Amino acid sequence: MAVAPVSTLAAIEQKVRRLTRSPSTAQLSDSDLDNYINTFVVYDFPEHLRMFNLRTTFSFYTNPYQDVYPTDTASFVGVTTNPLYDFQNKYISVHPPLYIAGYNSFFSQSREQFFGIYPIVTSIASIGFVGDGITQTFTGVINAQQSLVPANLTQQVSLLQNNVLFSSVNVNGAGLAMIDVPLVNPTTGNPSPIGNLYVPGQTPVTPPLYPTDLDPNNNINYATGQFTVTFTTPPDVGRAINSQTVPQVDTLPQAMCYYDNKFILRPVPDQPYTVNFEAYISPVFLMSTDSEPALKEWWQYIAYGAAKKIFEDRMDMESVQMIMPEFKKQESLCLRRTIVQYTNERTSTIYTEQTGVMGSGWGWGYGGGPF
């Protein structure tokens, strides 16, 4: 009785042992074997082949007053449920089209292009105080944000996070600076609308990467402009005390830049919106002997790829050359499905983009019409 072909991790292990002439665990332990297999699956496979089956859509949600969205793990202070947690390792690449709240939006990977459209222009203004040689703590509201917006506008105006600087000069002529670091909400992993102020580059008060507790003596509210700043030494008598900020009108974002494994949105969102785009997902490693690749047909290609890595570590280049023809053949077979899938798409033109009904009553794609 015929039996269906097996494509599990156990079958891949068996084929790799046969290819590498390593039937015994004394020659190649099970743990080392599985490590070779999964290294190829997770790291080599998606770089050799960008499969149609690995392309998917991804969505995350904006946060009020937050313009930069990281994709690492540390930024989320342990909140693994955040959609962007470890995105940079779970997904290989990001692609348009980009939709924000359902609107087809501008996507860029160039900081020069993106900030050419949405420049970061610093507003330098007095906080309303001058130094007296004694006072170190100052409290007030940064008014520059309101003065840049006409009174009849109803949009929320906030200060750009990670771009707040309070500056002055002390009695010895040394510069005084306090910079902002947004507080991270330990429940959501997102920045809050409040940040702490720190002395840049000075120990032991070097800015922490991801603070979660408010410092009552040094903080800034990005939404209202309210601040409390405490310099390490008093500003000199008569010295100006300035704020350097980037006011932003918060509204529905219309563009996104993907750079340095971070998503940057403009305009800065005033509330949660859905951001949706396409991405290549990283293949999942095979955990147990009955695990199978996302597509069962990949199993032989994975076996040849793992065998190739074993031969390379053994410096057995002759064996590498011997299996390369079949390795490339399996690669072509795996790629065939993607090639055929993409042949369904025509090159886009001004005509193929039309999907509506013509004024004469004939719809596009009906295969005929009046002449």
184-193, pLDDT tens digit by residue? 999 999 999 9
Give the three-class secondary structure for 203: coil
What pLDDT shows up at residue 295?
Answer: 86
What pLDDT shows up at residue 338?
Answer: 82
What pLDDT shows up at residue 352?
Answer: 58
Q: Are strands 255-259 and 103-108 parallel, antiparallel or unpaired?
A: parallel
What pLDDT shows up at residue 220?
Answer: 95
Residue 329: pLDDT over 80: yes
Nearest C-alpha neighbor of 173 from the set 243, 244, 237, 229: 237
Tokens 């292990």 belong to which residue?
13
| Residue 43: count of CB within 10 angstroms of its CB | 12
36-83, pLDDT tens digit by residue? 999 999 999 988 888 888 899 999 999 999 999 999 999 999 999 999
Q: What mean pLDDT is predicted for residues 3-19?
A: 89
Q: Which DSSP symbol is given to 353?
A: T
Q: Domain coordinates of the chain in residue numbers?
A: 9-51+295-342, 53-116+253-281, 122-245
User: Could you give the CA distance from residue 68 to residue 222 in angstroms, rounded to a whole number?
Assistant: 14
User: Could you give the CA distance from residue 195 to residue 330 in angstroms, rounded to a whole number?
Assistant: 54
What phi-psi label fits residue 69: left (phi over 0), alpha (psi between -120 and 50 degrees) or beta?
A: beta
Q: What mean pLDDT is predicted for residues 318-323?
A: 95
Task: Please give the angle made by the CA atoms of 117, 258 and 61, to the nearest 5 degrees.
Answer: 100
Crossing angle (nearest 10°) for helices 299-313 and 30-39:
110
Residue 183: pLDDT over 70: yes
What pLDDT shows up at residue 65?
Answer: 94
156-179, pLDDT tens digit by residue? 889 999 999 999 999 999 999 999
Cβ neighbours for 122, distance < 8 A, ≥ 6 positions apart: 163, 244, 245, 246
pTM of the predicted model as reported, rounded to 2 decimal places: 0.82
